[in-house]
């Protein structure tokens, strides 16, 4: 299982790097047409703004020119790498936790728990960063749209909510196991 988490981390990191270089990049595969890749930065906008762009070729050209600016691309890349980097670290931490738990040695649990705690912290940070990066990304792109520069607060709890709860549960589990191990050591010292 640890190898599976390491493989997912590597694949996720590769996709994040490609998306940092080409904002809006995606790869879709189906049986009939095979795999096709696209790079459309407008998919990073809210649906209402995407619809405004779709019906206006002049606005699409202005948006493409705006997104081609180096500071916009740098900002999009930084947001992507920050957000996805937390997920990559989470997968690596879970992989290291499983690898250490699978080791045949004393104190396997003690060596695995710090990685579980680090992974849980990465999950907490990712869940908290998700609405922030979504909002900043949209505000970064709005000046190139027909709407123009505007504030945008995007909070999608369908993704961040469950992720936050799972990360808290993992952190609480690591904390409880570490407390149990400390109590066991204290009891052994007492006896």
Residue 148 pLDDT grade (very low, low, confident, very high; cuts 50, 70, 90): confident
In this predicted model, what pLDDT tens digit does every residue of 11-66 receive, in sequence order? 999 989 988 888 877 767 777 777 777 777 888 888 888 888 888 888 888 988 99
Determine the pLDDT at residue 38: 72
Dihedral angle, C-alpha 54, 59, 64, 65, nearest 10 °: 180
Determine the pLDDT at residue 1: 85
**Residue 32 φ then ψ, to 5°:** -70, -45
Is there a contact between 185 and 110 (Cβ–Cβ < 8 Å)? Answer: no
Where along the chain do its domains lie? 2-190
Is there a contact between 97 and 112 (Cβ–Cβ < 8 Å)? Answer: yes
Q: Is the pLDDT reported for residue 78 higher than 80?
A: yes
In this predicted model, what pLDDT tens digit does every residue of 82-140 receive, in sequence order? 989 999 999 999 999 889 888 777 777 778 888 988 998 998 899 888 889 888 998 99
Is there a contact between 59 and 145 (Cβ–Cβ < 8 Å)? Answer: yes
Determine the pLDDT at residue 187: 67
The token pair at 20 is 């940092």
Q: Is the pLDDT reported for residue 188 higher than 70?
A: no
CA 14 – CA 10 distance, rounded (Å): 6
């Amino acid at each position: 299982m640890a190898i599976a988490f390491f493989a997912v981390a590597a694949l996720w990191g590769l996709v994040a790097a490609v998306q940092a270089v080409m904002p809006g990049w995606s790869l879709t595969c189906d049986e009939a047409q095979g795999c096709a890749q696209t790079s459309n930065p407008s998919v990073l906008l809210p649906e209402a703004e995407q619809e405004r762009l779709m019906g206006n070729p002049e606005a699409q050209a202005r948006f493409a020119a705006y997104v081609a600016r180096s500071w916009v691309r740098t900002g999009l890349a930084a947001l992507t790498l920050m957000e996805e980097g937390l997920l990559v670290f989470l997968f690596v931490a879970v992989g290291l936790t499983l690898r250490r738990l699978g080791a045949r040695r004393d104190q396997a649990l003690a060596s695995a728990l710090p990685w579980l705690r680090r992974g849980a912290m990465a999950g907490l940070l990712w869940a908290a960063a998700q609405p922030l990066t979504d909002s900043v990304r949209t505000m970064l792109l709005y000046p190139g749209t027909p709407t123009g520069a505007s504030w945008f607060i995007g909070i999608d709890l369908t993704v961040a909510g469950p992720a936050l709860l799972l990360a808290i549960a993992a952190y609480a589990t690591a904390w409880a196991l570490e407390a149990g191990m400390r109590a066991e050591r204290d009891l052994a010292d007492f006896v």
